[in-house]
Structure formats: C-alpha cells, structure tokens
C-alpha cells in the first residue's frame, strides 16, 4: 500500500473502531489531534506521514478503556499496520510513539525520543486543554460516573503511573492533576505557542466556576 492508501485505510478503520464513543475519545478527537499534530509538524519540520499515521492510531486502544493495559494501544496499532503491509521501521516508530504518548502522572516524565513523537504528543495535549479540553474532561468524568466537583476531595499529584491509573476523583481535580500542567510540558515551540491561549482560557473558566460555586456571581 502507498502512504496515501495507508492513511486513507487507517482513518476509516479508526473511525469505525471508535464509533459511538461518548467519553471524549471519539473519531472527532482523533481528527482534531491529527490536525493539531500536522500543524505543529509543519512548523517543526517533522515527517508528515509518520506524524499523521501515529496521530490517527494514538487512541486505537487507550489503556483507560482496556483495564489499564498500556500495551493494548501499541499492540492494536502494530496488528493494523502489519495488515497494511507497512514497513517494519515505520511500524516500530509509530508504536513507540503510541507507547510513550500518554500522560502518566504529574511526577512521571513522558519525553518523546523523536520529533514526530513530540508533534503527536503536543497535538494530543492541545486537545486536552482549552474549551474543547474542558468539554472532554466533563464528558470523560460523566462516562465513568465521577462527580463534577467535591470540595472535600483534594487533587493529588500522582508520582507514578500505577497511582495515576487508580485515580477516580472529581473532574475539577483533573484540571490540577493534569490539564493545567500540560502547557509547561509541551515539547515543541509550536506546541508551547498554541497551548498558551488555551491554558489561559482554562484558568478563566476555573475562576468563573468557583465564583459561581461559592455564590459570588
């Protein structure tokens, strides 16, 4: 298959696989991450084919929906790319990106080894913040039956991936445990530039949220 054929087939495969998702990890999340990652990749000079392919497959089997198995995503991506008769070096590169991509806790480093990986990771993190990120956070919390906010439950800065996997606190806590940390964890200049406005919007949202919660507005 040509690169174009692989991308076309992969997009169709991912769209069908994630059909019906209501957790914020649906096809449109994938499409936004793809566009974010390609925007970053063009500015950074990364390989656009690898970037787009990894972005398309990055949530094909997210550990959060597979019993915490963080090998599920790379495994599913590998199986698909083998079916596409992709080059072994390409398969290895894409699967390494997927294996390293996910946020794993405030105290856990997740630095990418390749420029394409950094572009996809920044693209994914951009979709976790700002207006869309706020909407996705509450969709995810509702999907898993989590409270919107509980002032008696404090955020926790998880120091291991194992601890992060076990988290189940209110959605507002997720802003402090992950979302507000992402701006400073962007790995490209383009990603940092794009994250700044989205981060500021989240801060404004939280100010308004707590003002309304406390009856100050």
**Quick one: 98 exposed, middle or buried, by C-beta within 10 A (0-12, 13-18, 19+)?**
buried
Give mean pLDDT, residues 2-25: 94
Query: Residue 114 contacts by C-beta under 8 Å, 6 or more apart in sequence?
Result: 93, 96, 97
Give mean pLDDT, residues 50-60: 97
Contact 95, 78 (CB under 8 A): yes
- Angle between helix axes 48-57 and 27-44 (nearest 10 degrees) is 160
Extents of the domains making up the chain: 3-213
* Residue 167: predicted pLDDT: 83
- Please identify which residue in the block is written with the tokens 């955020």: 155
* Residue 162: predicted pLDDT: 86
Question: 177-199 as b/e, with b when 16 or more CB fall inside 10 Å?
Answer: bbbbbbbebbbbebbbebbeebb
Closest CA to 183 of 114, 107, 130: 130
pLDDT tens-digit map of 146-181: 999 999 999 998 999 888 888 889 999 999 999 999
Count of beta carbons in the 10 Å neighbourhood of residue 130: 20
Tell me: pLDDT of 7 over 90.
yes
CATH of domain 3-213: 1.10.3210.50
- The overall pTM is greater than 0.75: yes
pLDDT tens-digit map of 93-127: 999 999 999 899 998 988 899 999 999 999 999 99
- Please identify which residue in the block is written with the tokens 């198995």: 69
Query: Residue 79 contacts by C-beta under 8 Å, 6 or more apart in sequence?
Result: none
């Amino acid at each position: 298959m040509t690169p174009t054929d692989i991308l076309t087939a992969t997009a169709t495969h991912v769209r069908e696989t994630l059909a019906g998702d209501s957790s914020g990890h649906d096809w449109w999340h994938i499409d936004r991450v793809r566009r974010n990652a390609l925007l970053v990749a063009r500015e950074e000079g990364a390989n656009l084919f690898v970037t787009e392919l990894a972005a398309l497959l990055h949530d094909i089997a997210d550990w959060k929906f597979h019993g915490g198995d963080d090998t599920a995503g790379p495994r599913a991506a590998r199986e698909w790319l083998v079916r596409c008769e992709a080059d072994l070096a390409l398969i290895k590169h894409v699967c390494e990106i997927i294996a390293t991509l996910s946020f794993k806790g405030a105290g856990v480093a997740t630095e990418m080894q390749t420029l394409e990986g950094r572009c996809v990771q920044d693209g994914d993190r951009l979709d976790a913040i700002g207006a869309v990120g706020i909407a996705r956070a509450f969709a995810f919390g509702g999907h898993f039956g989590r409270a919107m906010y509980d002032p008696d439950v404090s955020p926790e800065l998880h120091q291991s991936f194992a601890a992060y996997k076990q988290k189940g606190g209110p959605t507002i806590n997720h802003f402090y445990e992950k979302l507000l940390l992402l701006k400073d964890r962007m790995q490209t200049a383009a990603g940092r530039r794009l994250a700044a406005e989205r981060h500021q919007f989240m801060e404004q949202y939280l100010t308004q949220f707590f003002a309304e919660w406390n009856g100050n507005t």
